[in-house]
Amino acid sequence: MKPNSRSTNTSFVLVVIVNYRTPHDACNTLASIAPEIEKLPNMRVVVADNASGDDSVSQVQQTIEANQWVWATVMPLNKNGGFAAGNNAVVRHDLAQNLPFDYVLLLNPDTIVKSHAVLDLVEYLDANPSVGIAGANVSLMDQSPHTAARRLPSPVSEFTSQTRLGIICNALKRFDVSVPIEDSDEVECQWVCGAAMMVRREVFEKIGLMDEGYFLYFEEVDFCWRAIEAGFRVVVVPDSHIVHLEGAATGINQTKQRRGQYWYNSRRRFLLKRYGIAGLLAADVAFVCGRLIGGLNDLLHLRSPYPQDPRWFTWDVLVGDAQALCCGNPSGGPPLID
């Protein structure tokens, strides 16, 4: 069906954008959503501000009022509890108030929604009741693809991601975290990029909210895994496109500085929840073996140069895990949720 021939969709959609000191990006995201309202009149957008401590709330509110975006509101939060907590605050409020929504779109503030991207996700979920989570097809600002369909991280993927040697990666391809986006209506996977993922209301009602033990990163991996365990399917819808300015708020792509401790805590938390302590240790051993093989291949020029990592990357992975296990706080946060 051509986009201009589509009828108005009456599903209720709640869009949640969690902002932390990126008001300009959040306003640009709102502007990109605005054209979707014509085909989705029952869509509401809430910008949850994670206690930014700057003028984020007033700047976003002023932009909403200046553009008369009556479908958008701002929810200031009194603390920065992370990505999961920010999303949960909005979803928890709407569930408690029994406000109408069929789907929740969790959307990063550093994204640009392309034409019909939200509508494509809604129509797909309307037509496929067995799917609990649908992700958009993500590209980066330079138009390069950013694989939105993923497999769960595992000890084997920790190994292959560090060797990045063709013969090894090809032999263990079925363990690769990235799943190729095919020319089809859907790409089934184990988790989708959290920059733009639409969740059916029944998923929240059955498995609960996102695990707030993750401050940032891996929370969507955990949530999709729990949804699959509960019997829902997880897919990427290739026709739904968004552009992701990856790392605009977190600086995750900066290689000249150390990565925030929250990333290492989140990695450890997920591996522990999914595989237990033995699995975490196996993942760390596999990580080291992969790094050693990768480093040797670099010296022998058997592959392209190794991508630059954040400073102290290997040290922070291994020492952080060792310290957390020895100190009795392996998850780096609240008690693990079964």
With bands split at pLDDT 50, 70 and 90, how would you rate the model's confidence at 2? very low
With bands split at pLDDT 50, 70 and 90, how would you rate the model's confidence at 99? very high
Nearest to 118 by CA among 255, 14, 256, 270: 14
With bands split at pLDDT 50, 70 and 90, how would you rate the model's confidence at 33? very high
Residues written for the chain: 338
Q: Which amino acid is at 39?
A: K
Evaluate if residue 143 carries a pLDDT over 90.
no
Evaluate if residue 248 carries a pLDDT over 60.
no
Per-residue tokens: 302: 């058997």
Which secondary-structure segment (H or E) carries 11? Answer: none
Query: What is the residue whose two structure tokens read 């108005």?
Result: 8
The 10s digit of each residue's pLDDT in 51-84 is 999 999 999 999 999 999 999 999 999 999 999 9
**Mean pLDDT in residue range 19-40:** 97
The 10s digit of each residue's pLDDT in 278-288 is 999 999 999 99
Higher-pLDDT residue of 168 and 251 is 168
In this prediction, residue 201 carries a pLDDT of 98
Query: What is the residue whose two structure tokens read 């708020």?
Result: 249
**Mean pLDDT in residue range 242-261:** 73
**Mean pLDDT in residue range 106-132:** 97
In this prediction, residue 252 carries a pLDDT of 56
In this prediction, residue 97 carries a pLDDT of 95
In this prediction, residue 127 carries a pLDDT of 97
Architecture in CATH of 3-145+181-244: Alpha-Beta Complex (3.90)
Residue 106: phi and psi, rounded to 5, are -90, 120
Evaluate if residue 234 carries a pLDDT over 80.
yes
Per-residue tokens: 303: 């592959």
Higher-pLDDT residue of 238 and 294 is 238
Q: Provide the mean pLDDT of the chain.
A: 91
**Mean pLDDT in residue range 111-124:** 97
CA distance 38 to 57: 26
**Mean pLDDT in residue range 113-122:** 97
- Please state, in angstroms and as integers, the Cα–Cα distance from residue 233 to each residue in 153, 210, 222, following that order: 18, 17, 14
In this prediction, residue 123 carries a pLDDT of 97
With bands split at pLDDT 50, 70 and 90, how would you rate the model's confidence at 332? low
In this prediction, residue 338 carries a pLDDT of 46
Higher-pLDDT residue of 8 and 43 is 43
High-pLDDT (> 90) share of the chain, %: 77
CA distance 337 to 317: 22
With bands split at pLDDT 50, 70 and 90, how would you rate the model's confidence at 149? very high
**Mean pLDDT in residue range 165-185:** 86
CA distance 146 to 177: 12
CA distance 158 to 311: 18
The 10s digit of each residue's pLDDT in 211-229 is 999 999 999 999 999 999 9
CATH 3.90.550.60 domain range(s) in the chain: 3-145+181-244
Residue partners of 24: CB distance under 8 A and separation at least 6: 59
Nearest to 49 by CA among 38, 40, 58: 58
User: What predicted TM-score, i.e. pTM, was given to this entire model?
Assistant: 0.92
SS3 content of the chain, % helix, strand, coil (to 5): 45, 20, 40
With both helix axes pointing from N to C terminus, report the angle between 155-163 and 261-299 in degrees, rounded to the nearest 10.
Answer: 50
- Which range of 164-168, 209-213, 254-258 scores highest in mean pLDDT? It is 209-213
